[in-house]
Amino acid sequence: MFENLTEKLESIFKKLKSKGSLNEENIKDALRDIRMALLEADVNFKVVKNFIEDVRVRAIGQDVLESITPGQQVVKIVHDRLVELMGGGSSQIHFGNRFPAPVMLVGLQGCGKTTTAVKLARYLKKQGKRVYLVSVDVYRPAAVQQLKLLANQNELGFFDALEQRDPLDICRQALDDAKRNGFEVMIVDTAGRLQIDVAMMEELKRIKALIQPSEILFVADAMTGQEAVNVAEKFDATIGIDGIIMTKMDGDARGGTALSLKAVMGKPVKFIGLGEKVDAFDLFHPDRMASRILGMGDVLSLVEKAKLVVDEKYAQDLEKKIRKNEFTLGDFKDQLKQISKLGSLSDIFSMIPGMKKLREKQDFKPDEKEITKIIAIVDSMTPKERLNYQIIDGQRRKRIAKGSGTTVQDVNRLLKSYVDVRKVMKKMTSKGALKKMKRGLFPF
């Protein structure tokens, strides 16, 4: 989502860093370019105005202008201000002392409330909560059935309203049922409309009065840009919202909504949806998002993702192999399988500092189908070939290509990539590499 903004900011900062010293005129020119980049990313113009002025005041101080690395200092100021702009720190749901604690999801039709309800329920389930899902969208065809199906697929509690058509009766009975069965949280998926209308808002008011939710979360579609901010303000004025869940953050929108919501409304973005899969959902970390926007990667999120899917003993054994230069083609295949569990390749690469430059240098474009092709090629090799890639001559490459349904060129590309990965992984396990990565310095 932030790719265009990231590219423009990286270009601006590259110019700043190339200068041995900075003056007010240099900073003024850079801030003019940053202002245009933010406006083109669809950030609210008032937010941009305040942001640029805050950065200007901080950047023109003597500590920056007389610094040994003034360009780096300006980048740090922009990073810190971006973090503040998006809320400063992550914000969890507050459940209070209610049992069960009702959480209302509200928003327009098509913003992704139903799938978000399931994603949030899965997230809370991982936190040890017993979660109950209930749909009061009795207007959209098959809305209740959709939530029921997703709840069953993910082994989540679900209140089946059967043929009931009154949202208030459904909420009343669902609360009683959730309490009776020991559920701690009840997520209410409310009805949406194509646009805000009086009937929808009145219904939400009545539901709020009945269940007295611990929190009301507005589900914002990032693809709708600043319109999402306008709609959120109307919901907040009518029923009051406690936080925001941004959906479709993996799309190709300009991203300004995520940078504008907290500053305009004073309400935190609490969670983000990063794709259609139910596990593509995470707590919103302003500091990590700021780092990704500025092209610094997000190593912490990548490490957290890896911990969920990678066996610790396997990781330790692999590290030993890499250090001893014993990383084989079989290990390479296993690693690709592990990587595919982390999410899309584009998302993974965006978390690794310096990977963007490496991809540009090698003209590498992430393609999910490539993993399947590589696995097929490695599977067509003999055990000896997997252990020692150097014995794979021309004749062997032809046989491997034929056996895997690929071309000799595909086999050549795989072997070159494997050799490059061996070099990279060796450097990543070197002393101090992780610290460098966290500072945005990739050890290549």
Provide the pLDDT for residue 253. Answer: 59
CA gap 261, 269 in Å, rounded: 7
pLDDT along the chain (444 residues), means of 10: 78 79 82 89 87 87 64 82 85 86 91 92 92 91 88 92 86 94 94 83 93 93 82 90 87 70 86 83 84 65 58 68 77 75 59 52 56 88 92 94 93 88 69 48 38
**345 CB contacts (<8 Å, ≥6 apart)?**
339, 366, 367, 368, 371
CATH T-level fold of 299-438: 434 Repressor (Amino-terminal Domain) (1.10.260)
CATH T-level fold of 101-285: Rossmann fold (3.40.50)
3-85 has CATH 1.10.10.1100 classification: no
Provide the pLDDT for residue 442. Answer: 38
Residue spans per domain, the chain: 3-85, 101-285, 299-438
Radius of gyration of the chain (CA): 25
Among candidates 189, 196, 75, 55, which has minimal Cα distance to 440? 75
Same fold, 101-285 and 299-438: no
Longest Cα–Cα distance of the chain, Å, equals 75
Answer whether 111's CB lies under 8 Å from 191's CB: no
**What is the token pair recorded at 72?**
């780096």
CA gap 52, 35 in Å, rounded: 7
C-alpha atoms less than 13 angstroms from C-alpha of 126 in its C-beta half-sphere:
12
Distances, alpha carbon 16 to alpha carbons 26, 73, 74, in Å: 8, 10, 8
Provide the pLDDT for residue 391. Answer: 93
Provide the pLDDT for residue 439. Answer: 45
